[in-house]
Amino acid sequence: MKNKLVDYRKIFHYSQDKLAEKLGVSRQTIISIEKGKYNPSLPLAMIIAEVFQAKVEDIFFLEEEDYK
Partner DNA sequence: ACTTCACGTAAAGTTTGCTTTACTATTATG
Partner DNA sequence: CATAATAGTAAAGCAAACTTTACGTGAAGT
**Site size for DNA (CB under 7 A):** 21
Calpha distance 40→34 (Å, rounded):
10
Q: Which residues have a Cβ under 8 Å from the Cβ of 58 and sit 6 or more positions away?
A: 4, 49, 52
| Partner interacting with residue 34 (select from DNA, a copy of itself, none; CB below 5-8 Å by kind) | DNA
Q: Does 3 bind DNA (CB under 7 A)?
A: no
H or E element in which residue 61 lies: strand 60-61
Q: Which of 29, 52, 59, 60 binds DNA (CB under 7 A)?
A: 29
Binding site residues, a copy of itself, CB under 8 A: 1, 24, 39-43, 45-47, 49-50, 55-57, 60, 62, 66-68
